[in-house]
């Protein structure tokens, strides 16, 4: 039999590094978190070749004495746990693994000078071996440099990606941590280029807008809600301001950036009936919760968390997001499409006159005075199809409008274009409304107010209950979610170790295959921790009903009908977007209109 032996410390550190340090961005995350925990007011990050050649983090924090530096490079040595109450941890780093793990797989230079000390100290470790130490000249704080990551471990080095990919991952790490701490100044340099420069003292929503997108400030709503000991703050983008992938969703728990399925599922649930399934919201959410109610020690990288009351947290986020969006639900993403604006402003000029124009001016001696204004019985040449297209808009004389009516947010209807778009004049600009998309949202909200949502979810008992065989773990998930599914009209119960019995289906989707439905719901539970799929299916039924019952594009509306639609939009929740997440109206400010004609 092989003998059991104790592994050498260098190998133990390399094994630990496999969990903590996967790529340059992993090492960078640990170093920046240490700088934040050290009380830094300014953190500077420098990358060479995306961190593959070198990365450096400099801060102005509390610093370390020489003896503390030696201890910091030992495994599970940390200043962040004054006692053994690991469930009360409030710092970003706390496991005491990061520095020795990084030093075991790279050339690691640690320089530090405590506040008030006359000089600093330096220690250099090359892949686990101490090679130099001595005095160092640096201002108070700490500077850490990591070079040649996995240089002596080719089996790990070959799995690293290109410098461009590693740089993108490092930049994402800095952005997330900078978002969490607007009170700290951050800089990021890649080679000779300054990528990020953020000043300390920014408001949280301003810091988020600087990092995510400038437009988020104008196309988002602020969130600040409390429930018991929990608090939710941040910025949520309007449903019409969305992306094709979910890489612009930033989630934080007690200031710690996380990628948690429960929180991601909560965001998706909050936007469920306002976004198409292939679109994703843009937001940054900061959840503050008592330390004893969340476990941050789930994964060595500390990117996953576990909540004591998971459903309570999810419900708080969903209701908080929906309530916040309700304050901006009549708004729409107001940035006009740049391409459309460019085409509008740069109307091509014809180099050669059209045949109709040539027929007007041919043979004319411009020095000869005009003898008459028009020839009798000659049609106006401007109506020629080659000169002017047939009008597609229609305007009617509007009824007299009182001065108070000019305060309507969506303005007063002036006409209709292509029998599809309502043109309205507001006090601050020109409003275009997609009549079908707008009425679709109004009909959906009416259906909900009339109880149609409950009718769609009403359960329909099956004449013969159907047995669906699944894996035991899938049955466990479905059994746990059965009360929630029953609220949506799906009646199921456990039928042995690896089978579920379907007794009732939601009335609106009664003809759906129960086996396929349960498998899809189980996949949804495994991915998001909540049966979002069934609710989305039922929302789709309501949305389809609303679509078929709404005003169609191409229908001619009277001016009073247009104004009635605008007034109802101003009273209806979430009227800024249709049931598929598209905007129902856009506004062109008077300043933009004047720019089109060169008045500004």
pLDDT digits (tens, 9 = 90+) for 480-511: 889 888 888 889 999 999 999 999 988 777 77
Asked whether the beta carbons of 63 and 120 are under 8 A apart, the reply is: yes
Q: In what order do the strands lie in the sheet with 393-395?
A: 393-395, 412-417, 421-426, 429-434, 585-589
Q: Domain locations in the chain?
A: 9-198, 204-327, 392-600
* Architecture of the domain spanning 392-600: 2-Layer Sandwich (3.30)
From residue 386, how far is each of 133, 150, 358, 425 by CA, in Å? 85, 71, 11, 31
Tell me the pTM.
0.72
| Ramachandran bin of 430, using left for φ above 0, alpha for ψ from -120 to 50, beta for the remaining angles | beta
Q: 348 pLDDT exceeds 60?
A: no
Q: 512 pLDDT exceeds 50?
A: yes
From residue 30, how far is each of 146, 240, 537 by CA, in Å? 12, 36, 42
pLDDT in tens, 535-565: 766 776 767 667 766 776 678 888 888 999 9
Nearest-5° Cα angle at 413, 408 to 418: 140
Same fold, 204-327 and 392-600: no
- Mean pLDDT on 340-357: 48
- Mean pLDDT on 231-238: 93
Q: 190 pLDDT exceeds 50?
A: yes
pLDDT at 380: 44
Kindly state the percentage of the chain with pLDDT values over 70.
79
The dihedral formed by the CA atoms of 593, 596, 598 and 600, expressed in degrees to the nearest 10: 40
The token duo for 516 is 């396929």
Tell how far CA 23 is from the center of its chain: 25
pLDDT at 356: 47
Task: Name which residue leads in pLDDT, 326 or 84.
Answer: 326
Task: Pick the range with the lowest mean pLDDT from 145-154, 227-236, 270-279, 280-289.
Answer: 270-279
From residue 114, how far is each of 33, 109, 128 by CA, in Å? 18, 17, 25
Burial 279-310 (b: 16+ CB within 10 A, else e): bbbbbbbbbebeeebbebeeebebbbbebeee
CATH no. of 204-327: 3.30.230.10
pLDDT in tens, 438-490: 888 888 877 777 766 666 667 889 989 999 999 999 999 899 889 888 888 88
Task: Name which residue leads in pLDDT, 47 or 328.
Answer: 47
pLDDT in tens, 16-48: 666 678 899 999 999 999 999 999 999 999 999
Task: Pick the range with the lowest mean pLDDT from 90-94, 152-156, 258-262.
Answer: 90-94
Burial 509-545 (b: 16+ CB within 10 A, else e): beeeebeebbebbbebbeebbbbbbbbbbbbbbbbeb
CA distance 176 to 208: 9
pLDDT in tens, 43-68: 999 999 999 999 999 999 999 999 99
pLDDT in tens, 358-406: 444 445 454 454 444 444 444 444 444 444 445 555 555 555 555 455 5
pLDDT at 9: 73
CATH no. of 9-198: 3.30.565.10
Residue 346: pLDDT band (50, 70, 90) is: very low
pLDDT at 186: 97
Mean pLDDT, rounded, of the chain: 81
């Amino acid at each position: 039999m092989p003998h059991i032996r104790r592994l050498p410390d260098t190998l133990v550190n390399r094994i630990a590094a496999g969990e903590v340090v996967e790529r340059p961005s992993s090492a960078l995350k640990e170093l920046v978190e240490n700088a934040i925990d050290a009380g830094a007011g300014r953190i500077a990050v420098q990358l060479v070749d995306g961190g593959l050649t070198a990365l450096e983090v400099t801060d102005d924090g509390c610093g370390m004495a020489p003896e503390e530096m030696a201890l910091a490079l030992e495994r599970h040595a940390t200043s962040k746990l004054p006692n053994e109450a690991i469930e009360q941890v409030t710092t970003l780093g706390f496991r005491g693994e990061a520095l020795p793990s990084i030093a075991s797989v790279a050339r690691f230079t640690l320089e530090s000078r405590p506040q008030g000390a006359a000089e600093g100290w330096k220690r250099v470790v090359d892949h686990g071996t101490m090679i130099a130490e001595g005095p160092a000249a640096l201002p108070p704080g700490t500077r850490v440099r990591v070079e040649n990551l996995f240089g002596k471990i080719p089996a790990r080095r070959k799995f690293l990606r290109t410098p461009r990919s590693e740089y993108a991952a490092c930049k994402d790490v800095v952005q997330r941590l900078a978002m969490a701490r607007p009170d700290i100044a951050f800089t990021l340099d890649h080679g000779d280029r300054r990528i990020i420069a953020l000043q300390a003292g920014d408001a949280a929503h301003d810091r988020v807008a600087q990092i995510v997108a400038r437009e988020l400030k104008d196309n988002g709503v602020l969130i600040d809600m409390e429930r018991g000991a929990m608090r939710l703050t941040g910025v949520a983008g309007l449903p019409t301001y969305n992306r094709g992938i979910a890489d612009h969703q930033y989630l934080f728990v007690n200031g710690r950036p996380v990628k948690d399925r429960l929180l991601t599922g909560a965001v998706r649930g909050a936007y469920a009936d306002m976004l198409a399934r292939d679109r994703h919201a843009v937001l940054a959410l900061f959840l503050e919760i008592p330390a004893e109610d969340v476990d941050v020690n789930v994964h060595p990288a500390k990117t996953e968390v576990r909540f004591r009351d998971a459903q309570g947290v999810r419900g708080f986020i969903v209701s908080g997001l929906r309530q916040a969006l309700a304050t901006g639900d009549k708004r729409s993403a107001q940035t006009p499409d740049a391409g459309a604006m460019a085409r509008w402003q740069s109307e091509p000029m014809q180099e050669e006159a059209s045949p109709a124009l040539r027929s007007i001016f041919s043979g004319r001696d411009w020095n000869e005075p005009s003898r008459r204004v028009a020839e009798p019985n000659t049609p106006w040449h401007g109506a020629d199809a080659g000169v002017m297209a047939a009008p597609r808009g229609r305007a009617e004389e509007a009824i007299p409008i009182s001065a108070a009516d000019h305060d309507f947010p969506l303005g007063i209807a002036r006409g209709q274009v292509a029998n599809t778009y309502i043109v309205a004049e507001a006090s601050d600009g020109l409003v275009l409304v997609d009549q079908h998309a707008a009425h679709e949202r109004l009909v959906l909200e009416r259906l909900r107010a009339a109880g149609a949502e409950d009718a769609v979810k009403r359960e329909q008992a099956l004449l013969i209950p159907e047995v669906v065989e699944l894996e035991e773990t899938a049955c466990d998930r479905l059994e746990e979610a059965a009360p929630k599914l029953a609220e949506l009209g799906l009646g199921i119960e456990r039928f042995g170790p690896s089978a579920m019995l379907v007794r009732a289906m939601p009335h609106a989707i009664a003809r759906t295959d129960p086996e396929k439905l349960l498998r899809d719901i189980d996949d949804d539970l495994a991915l998001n921790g909540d049966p979002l799929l069934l609710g989305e299916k039922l929302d789709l039924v309501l949305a389809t009903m609303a679509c078929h019952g709404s005003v169609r594009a191409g229908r001619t509306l009277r001016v009073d009908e247009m104004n009635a639609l605008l007034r109802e939009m101003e009273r209806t929740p979430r009227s800024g977007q249709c049931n598929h997440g598209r905007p129902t109206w856009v506004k062109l400010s008077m300043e933009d209109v004047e720019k089109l004609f060169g008045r500004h």
